[in-house]
Amino acid sequence: MTTQHAISVEKLNVSFGDSHVVKDLSFAVAPGESYGIVGESGSGKSTVLRVLAGLNRDWSGEVDILGKRQPKLRDKAFYRAAQMVFQDPYGSLHPKKTVDDTLAEPLAIHGVRDAEAKISRAMQDVGLPTSFRFRYPHQLSGGQRQRVAIARALVLEPTILLLDEPTSALDVSIQAEVLNLLQALRHERKLTYILVSHDLAVVGHMCERLLVMQFGRGVEEMTAATLAARAPQTAYAQQLLTASEGFRRAG
Amino acid sequence: MSDHATSPVSWHSWLTTTSPESRRQAKLGQLYRQWLAFKKNPAAVVGLVIVLALLLLAAFAPLIAQYDPLAQALDQRLLAPSAKHWFGTDALGRDIFSRIVYGTRVTLVIVMLVVITVGPLGLLIGCAAGYFGGWIDTVLMRITDVFLAFPRLVLALAFVAALGPGLENAVIAIAFTAWPPYARVARAETMIIRNADYISAMRLQGASQMRIVLKHIVPMCVPSLIVRTTYDMAGIIIIAAGLGFLGLGAQPPIPEWGAMISTGREQIFDQWWVATFPGIAICVVALGFNLLGDGLRDVLDAR
């Protein structure tokens, strides 16, 4: 049962002190699928992602990734299989490392040979010209930084990519570019995505299935087709959908 | 690349290019941009000039001083400044200018020894405490608090009194008392960046704790520690001079500035030059390091 899922989460609970931020959450993602998690700020969606990535260790429940039960402390094999792209490209790149340093580091950690070629390839895949290779983050724009972050996540050739609002810190004109890049990469490399976002339009564009979260609980799981048809079952999902269409002038 | 070396204009463009071709070029370009920013601050440049002058004086002391700093000439005691003895002579007839020039070596040895012991020690303790937190943080920071609880000069005095007077012991004593602020600075810096996404990203790549601290956290703390060190050099020089003045630092006849002031204090009203010139030397060098620290802060610690 667990082997056919890329990721499966059973009864996940996360608490920070007194506040119970994720409550009995369960979902499963098939290999090659793109799965969205949507919700307002504070709904616990980013926390779920950090648990999956192994960055948050205070949780209970069962997390299986690629058919393997995951302990709180992940092993090196996990990090080669799953990587994450952070929300804010201004905070996710080390300010004193060039693009080259940033991409070389994961390869050095895992003792991957042929780093030169791998770095060039990763840069090419995310559409960064080679002339950017020895630039520092402060010499890059937001969109370029996010491309570097994506390249860093891909350089180890993982099968799962965890995306934490990968475009919400970017300019609207850049957002589409980065989303299309992520789409193309997924098809090319048969990646499994989990995309966390508060933006229903982004999730509708990127994902085949999505989960709506509220107050740490999964409210409704639906397909992109349901979303496109504006036919969610629950009141909260309906409300979220209405809200995402923007405000209407009263009267 | 040889054509770059021929003209200064292409050097400039080679260094400031936005698409460097190698790691070295990127690194040098970064340094060059910092130098350009540093140059804009005239006070900092004055500080740099003073510190460079100090280094040159120490390196070429035998060429600059006309007299042996240790040679006594009792028939020429306490001569006022003149063309022959620029800064006059002291109670044993030694040329004060020559002693001050040679004294730069003593000062630099003290400062350098303190800095190379204190910097890495404070950095490691601070980064470890800040990154790991929990009981490691508590233990390390309480030890730091114990050292911080004493005034520096008093603690240094206690150490020298226990170890015995002398230059090496003065260095050890100053180093012992100088590290806690460095640990504090490094810890504060580390606590800000340990939850940054780029550190999480490193963790997510399977980097070991050691690797994260040494390769990713330490480089972020180094600039503020360099700045702190440069500021501190003035303090270190003054404490070294203070220990010398109290007879616990460099022992006679070593030409140490603090000890020179101390021997000059008996003649301070009649032969003012004996104590004044070493005092001016300490003042100028301390000022130089402070100005340099200011400039470095603006360049390295910019936020």
The strand pairing partners of A220, in sequence order, are A212
**Phi, psi angle pair for A202, to nearest 5°:** -65, -45
Residue B285: closest CA among B66, B104, B72, B106: B104
Measured in whole angstroms, the distance separating CA B143 from the mean position of its chain's CA atoms is 24
pLDDT score, position A250: 57
Instruction: Determine the structural domain holding residue A222 and report its residue range.
Output: 2-244
Tokens 């965890």 identify what position? A162
Chain A neighbours among B 220-239 (CB < 8 Å)? 220
Closest residue on chain A to B31 (Cα): A96
φ, ψ of residue A212 to 5 degrees: the values are -95, 130
Distance from CA of A113 to the nearest CA of B (A): 16
Please check whether residue A189 lies inside any domain of the structure.
yes
Termini Cα distance of chain A? 54
The count of domains in chain A is: 1
State the Cα–Cα distance between residues B174 and B64, nearest whole angstrom: 30
Q: Which of B25, B215, B216 sits opposite A134 (nearest CB)?
A: B25
- Kindly determine whether residue A156 and residue B216, on different chains, have CB atoms separated by under 8 Å: no
Among chain A residues, CA nearest to B200: A55
d(CA A163, CA B256): 63
CATH number of B43-300: 1.10.3720.10
CA B297 – CA B273 distance, rounded (Å): 36
Does residue A239 belong to any structural domain of this protein?
yes
Q: Which residues of A lie closer than 8 Å to B, measured between beta carbons?
A: 53-55, 74, 76, 78-80, 83-84, 86-88, 91-96, 98, 100-101, 105-106, 109-110, 131-132, 134-136, 139, 149, 152, 156
pLDDT at B293 over 90: no
* Residue A91 forms part of a structural domain: yes
CB neighbours of residue B111 within 10 Å: 22
Inside any domain, residue A137: yes
What would the 3-class secondary structure string for B139-164 be? HHHHHHHHHHCCCHHHHHHHHHHHHC
Looking up residue A108, the CATH number of its domain turns out to be 3.40.50.300
Residue A250 lies in a domain: no
Name the residue ranges covered by the structural domains of chain B: 1-40, 43-300
Q: Is the CB of B204 inside 8 Å of chain A's CB atoms?
A: yes
User: Phi and psi (nearest 5°) for A14?
Assistant: -135, 130
β A34-39/A192-197 pair status: parallel
| B120-159 tens-digit pLDDT | 999 999 999 999 989 999 999 999 999 888 888 888 888 8
- Is the complex ipTM more than 0.90? no
The pLDDT tens digits for B210-267 are 899 999 999 888 888 888 888 888 888 888 888 888 888 888 788 888 888 888 888 8
Q: Do B197 and A88 touch (CB under 8 A)?
A: yes
- Is B206 in CB contact (< 8 Å) with chain A? yes
Cβ contacts of A74 within 8 Å, gap of 6 or more: A54, B206
Chain B hits for A106, CB-CB cut-off 8 Å, are 205-206
pTM above threshold 0.90? no
Domain assignment present for A249: no
- Residue B113, min C-alpha distance to chain A (Å): 28
Q: What is the pLDDT of residues A55-85, one digit of tens each?
A: 888 889 999 988 888 888 888 889 999 999 9
Contact present, B95 and B89 (Cβ < 8 Å)? yes
